[in-house]
Amino acid sequence: MLSVEGLCAGYHQLQILHDVALHVDEGEIVALVGANGAGKTTMLRAVSGLLIPTSGSITFAGEPVVGVHPHELVRRGLVHVPEGRALFGSLSVLENLQMGGWIHGRKSLEEDLDAVFGLFPVLAERRNQPAETLSGGQQQMLAIGRGLMARPRLLMLDEPSTGLSPKLTWAVLEAVKVIRKHGTAVLLVEQNAAHALALADRAYVLESGTTVLDGPGRELARNDRVREAYLGL
């Protein structure tokens, strides 16, 4: 579904990603783990069309991604929930969700809202409340819900557990499992390797802009290098 090969990208003269390869198949949860500054966000930005790579190829559903406008990529089902959530703080929960669904017009809006409220009932309770008044966990749910309103085939989540208590982190990650069960593949960027590896079907470890290890999540969680560097064991 998503295939990245030989990807090099960075900012101005600074190259961050060096020859990265990665793929996500239909219905998979794939994690990308790595330390601060390893290039995980840069990778998601390149895939979602926000950053033009210097070389390499990215294809989604068999179509090239590089050079395609980010809005068009969203229309094709490639949806990025950025780190920091980027919500419209003064707008209500409902308005934020509606913004996520605008790309498909009014037809499917009610149905998609029902699906998001089913996944995160607290958002239904707070639908008229400004987004900025929600707790951190609720804001993360809203950011994911807004992404789901765009009907993703692949949902890319950047650090969804940042700033959340362990309990809320698990609630968000449990929601990721439900999202996959409904047929959406997920590419999950996480600094919290323990959570990401427990959840993911497969995972990649990114170090200094290069993937150094990949394999089934649970297998990587037993790898000595991963245990020492990312799991603190």
Q: What residue ranges bind ligand ATP (CB under 6 A)?
A: 11, 14, 16, 34, 36-42, 191
Sheet holding 55-60, edge to edge: 14-24, 2-11, 55-60, 63-64
Output 37 or 118, the one with its CB closest to ligand ATP.
37
Output 8 or 122, the one with its CB closest to ligand ATP.
8
Phi, psi of 151, rounded to the nearest 5 degrees: 55, 60
Taking the complex as a whole, the smallest distance from the CB of residue 16 to ligand ATP amounts, in Å, to: 5
Taking the complex as a whole, the smallest distance from the CB of residue 79 to ligand ATP amounts, in Å, to: 18
Contact 5, 21 (CB under 8 A): yes
Taking the complex as a whole, the smallest distance from the CB of residue 160 to ligand ATP amounts, in Å, to: 12
What distances in angstroms separate CA 174 from CA 141, 168, 205, one per listed residue?
11, 10, 22
Output 1 or 20, the one with its CB closest to ligand ATP.
20
Taking the complex as a whole, the smallest distance from the CB of residue 194 to ligand ATP amounts, in Å, to: 16
Output 8 or 94, the one with its CB closest to ligand ATP.
8
Taking the complex as a whole, the smallest distance from the CB of residue 99 to ligand ATP amounts, in Å, to: 24
Output 38 or 203, the one with its CB closest to ligand ATP.
38
Q: Please, which residues have CB within 8 angstroms of residue 181's CB and are 6 or more apart in sequence?
A: none
What distances in angstroms separate CA 22 from CA 1, 3, 31, 72, 190, one per listed residue?
11, 6, 10, 22, 16
Contact 155, 79 (CB under 8 A): yes
The Cβ of residue 223 has, within 10 Å, a number of other Cβ atoms equal to: 16
Taking the complex as a whole, the smallest distance from the CB of residue 22 to ligand ATP amounts, in Å, to: 14
Contact 156, 81 (CB under 8 A): yes
Output 33 or 65, the one with its CB closest to ligand ATP.
33
DSSP 104: G
